[in-house]
Amino acid sequence: MPGTLPTATDGRGEPREFRRPVRAGCYIPPVTSLLQPPLLTRLLGAERILVAGAGGGFDVYAGLPIALALRAAGREVHFANSSFSSLHGLGLDVWEAPELARITPDVRSADRYFPERSLARWLRDHQLPDTVWAFPPTGVQPLRAAYRALVDLLGIDAILLVDGGTDILLRGDEAGLGTPEEDMASLAAVAGLADVPQRLVASLGFGIDAYHGVNHALVLENLAALHRDGGYLGAFSVPADSPEAALYLDAVARARDECPEHPSIVQGSIAAALRGEFGDVRFTERTGDSTLFINPLMTLYFGVTVEALAARNLYLDRLEHTVLLGQVASAIGRFQDSLPRQRPPRAFPH
C-alpha cells in the first residue's frame, strides 16, 4: 500500500508496518525502533537496492550479509563495485555505459584478480542473480554518470555504499586517512544523486584500517559528530549463526580459492572475527610483517547517511569536478598540505 514502510518486527520476527502518509516527491523517514537498526529500517522501505563497494577491491563483499538479508525479506538487490581489475581490457559487449561494465560469471579476462567475477560466479552457484556491475577507477564526474546510468537502468530507489574498513568515515583532517581515493570518489558521486530517496553508507570491519594508519578513536569521534547531526544510523553485528554469516564465509573462501596469491586482508579479517578467532590470526602470508588484532568489533556494521557524511567531510567539494582518479588523489593531498595541523591520533582510554 502506498505510504507503508516496514520497520521493526512483530513477535514472530516479521516486519511490522507503520502506515504514514507520503506525498509525491516527499520522502518521510520511517519510524525506527529498538527492535530493528535504523539502517535496515530505511533499506526495508525501498524496493530496488544497489549494494555498492565504495573503496574498490573486495569491498562489495562487505555488503553481502545485508544484501542477502534484504533479498530474503523480498527486496530486489543488485551489486556493484569500484574495481581494481583491468576492466578496459574486456570486450565491448560488457559496457552498458561509459565507465559501467556488466560482469557475469563467464566474462573473459586475463586478470586473475577479479573480485567482481568471483562474486558473480558465487552468486550463480547459489542460484542468485549473478550480475555484478563494475566501475573502473575514475574521478567523480564520470563515476556519478555511471551511477546515474545504473540507477536509471535498474530503477534503483536506495543505494548502500559499503566499505570494508572505516576510512570512508574519516573527514580529512586526521593524521592518517587510510586509502581514501576510491572511497571519497564514490561518496562524492553518490552524494550528487539527490533524487535517489535513500543513500546510505555501511562500514564493516572496525579496526582493520589500523594497518593503513587509521586511528579508530578518531573514527568514533566522527561517528559521535554524525550522531549529533542526525546522520548516524547505529551499529549492529552479523550474527555468527545466521545464514547470512555462513554464506558470507563461503563467498570469502571461494574468492580466496580463485585468487590464492592475493586474498583480501579485510574480508579475511572479518571472516576470522565471525568464526570467533582473536588476536594475531594468520590467514594469509600477506600479513606476515604485521601484528593483527582480530576481535568481535570487526563484525559490527556502522551505518550513516550519505548526506550527513558528505556534509562533514572537509574536502569533498574539491573533488567535485575531477575526471581522473589521479586528480582525486592530488586534491586530497593538496588539502592535507593546506591544513595548519592535523588531528593527532588518540589512544583508547580503556
User: How much is the pLDDT for 289?
Assistant: 72
Contact 140, 241 (CB under 8 A): no
Cα of first residue to Cα of last residue in the chain, in angstroms, is 49
Parallel, antiparallel, or unpaired for β 132-135 and 100-103? antiparallel
Residue 6: what pLDDT?
37
User: Position of cell 557524511?
Assistant: 309
The whole-angstrom separation of Cα 235 and Cα 275 is 19
The three-class DSSP label of residue 35 is coil
What does the block give as the cell for 181?
A: 581515493
| pLDDT beyond 60 at 97 | yes
Cell of 70: 534484504
Residue entry with cell 586534491: 331
Query: What pLDDT, on a 0 to 100 scale, did the predictor assign at position 39?
Result: 97
Question: Using 50, 70 and 90 to split pLDDT, how confident is the model at 349?
Answer: confident
**Tell me, what's the pLDDT at 23?**
36
Length of the chain: 350
What's the pLDDT band for 200 if we cut at 50, 70, 90? very high
User: If DSSP codes are grouped into helix, strand and coil, which group holds residue 100?
Assistant: strand
Say yes or no to pLDDT of 211 above 80: yes
Whether pLDDT at 207 is above 50: yes
Mean pLDDT of the chain: 90
Mean of pLDDT values over 127-149: 98
Is residue 279 scored above 80 in pLDDT?
Answer: yes
Give 307-335 pLDDT, tens digit per residue.
Answer: 999 999 999 999 999 999 999 999 999 99
Q: Which of 198, 102, 187, 188 is nearest to 159 (CA)?
A: 198
> Residues of the chain with pLDDT > 70: what percent?
90
Domain boundaries, the chain: 36-247+300-335
95 has a pLDDT exceeding 50: yes
Q: Assess contact for 53 and 61: CB atoms under 8 A.
A: yes
Coil vs helix vs strand at 48: strand
Q: What is the pLDDT of residue 158?
A: 98
Q: How confident is the model at residue 225 (pLDDT cuts 50, 70, 90)?
A: very high
**Residues 64, 248: contact at Cβ < 8 Å?**
yes
Instruction: Using alpha carbons, select from 121, 141, 142, 147 the residue that is nearest to residue 132.
Output: 121
Task: Look at residue 288 in the predicted model and tell me its pLDDT.
Answer: 62
Q: Does 212 score more than 60 pLDDT?
A: yes
Lowest mean pLDDT among 87-91, 202-206, 214-218: 87-91
Coil, helix or strand at residue 91:
coil
Residue 276 zone, left/alpha/beta (φ > 0; ψ -120 to 50; rest): left
Q: Which pLDDT score is estimated for 31?
A: 74
Q: What is the DSSP letter of 14?
A: P
How many angstroms separate the CA atoms of 156 and 139, rounded?
22
Which whole-number Å values give the CA distances from 197 to 43, 65, 98, 307, in the listed order? Answer: 10, 22, 24, 11
Q: Each residue of 164-191: pLDDT tens digit?
A: 999 999 999 998 999 999 999 999 999 9
The H or E element spanning position 79 is strand 76-82
Of the listed ranges 38-52, 106-120, 284-298, the least confidently predicted one is: 284-298
